[in-house]
Amino acid sequence: MTAQIIESRVQELLDGGVLAKGSHASFESGACAMEWVSYLAGQGHTDAPDCASPVLRAFTIGLNDQWGTEQRQKLRPFLPRMVGTAGDGQDEARSYLALDWLVRTYTPAWLDLAGLTEEATALRDLRRIADLTAAEAAGPVVRAGREKAAAARDAAGAAAWDAAGAAAWAAAWAAAWAAAWAAAWAAAWAAAWDAAGAAAWDAAGAAARAAVRPTVETLQASALDLLDQMIDPSVGESR
């Protein structure tokens, strides 16, 4: 859809606007990433502005609410570019970009950390998931990785699992938004979650968080790269 962006508000955002966790009763009481997008477009106070792609909204809210305060601010430069993305015909491509990232980047990172390198390699070696056929073909490989990760997680014990889980939630979580990809998404998500827990099977508390921190930071940077691609998937197609 056509949407006007208010340039003075863009400057306000980039000059020190603060992104806050969660939704808020008013802009004065705080604003998450998508509430800022609405503000930039002059659409009132909402975290569901109709000027922005619902796929971008789901992914951005996931990052906004799971990242810490400092990391969250890295979303600011991307927000003005979201104005006008609603109804631009690119949401299917955005959804596949996110699913491909979850299956071939996010989940293997946790599998590697859990010592399941063979399963991680199998996911990375899948062809790029850009259509439903590729998503369906990835399913058995994802499920195999999930089974191994679940077994390793169960061996870890509750203390190590809780510590790894807390750190994993600090990473770049996304949201499942398209019913067409629900099954593949759910399987990949579960595999990543189990692998994150298994990664700390021999550690607990602060030690576990330290062990997973490099993976968390790498995936946070990767999620920002993904967000950049998702805002305008046609750029990648033209390369």
* Residues with Cβ within 8 Å of residue 156, at least 6 apart in sequence: 164, 197, 198, 200, 201, 202
- What whole-number distance in Å separates Cα of residue 85 and Cα of residue 64? 19
Q: Are 127 and 114 in contact (CB under 8 A)?
A: no
Q: Where are the domains of the chain?
A: 7-82, 91-238
Q: How confident is the model at residue 86 (pLDDT cuts 50, 70, 90)?
A: very high
pTM (2 decimals)? 0.79
pLDDT at 180: 35
Q: Spell out the SS3 assignment of 11-74.
A: HHHHCCCCCCCCCCCCHHHCCCHHHHHHHHCCCCCCCCCCCCCHHHHHHHHHHHHHCCHHHHHH
For 221-233, what is each residue's pLDDT tens digit? Answer: 998 999 999 999 9
pLDDT at 74: 94
Based on its alpha-carbon atoms, the radius of gyration of the chain, rounded to whole angstroms, reads: 18
pLDDT at 53: 92
**Which SS3 state, helix, strand or coil, does residue 127 take?**
coil
The amino acid at residue 45 is: H
Choose among 54, 52, 174: nearest CA to 36. Answer: 52
- What whole-number distance in Å separates Cα of residue 40 and Cα of residue 136? 39
**Which SS3 state, helix, strand or coil, does residue 111 take?**
helix
Higher pLDDT, 181 or 62: 62
pLDDT at 126: 94
Choose among 53, 44, 50, 47: nearest CA to 19. Answer: 47
Q: Are 13 and 79 in contact (CB under 8 A)?
A: yes
pLDDT at 110: 78
Q: How confident is the model at residue 85 (pLDDT cuts 50, 70, 90)?
A: very high
Mean pLDDT computed over every residue of the chain:
78
- What whole-number distance in Å separates Cα of residue 224 and Cα of residue 200? 25
The amino acid at residue 186 is: A
The amino acid at residue 182 is: A
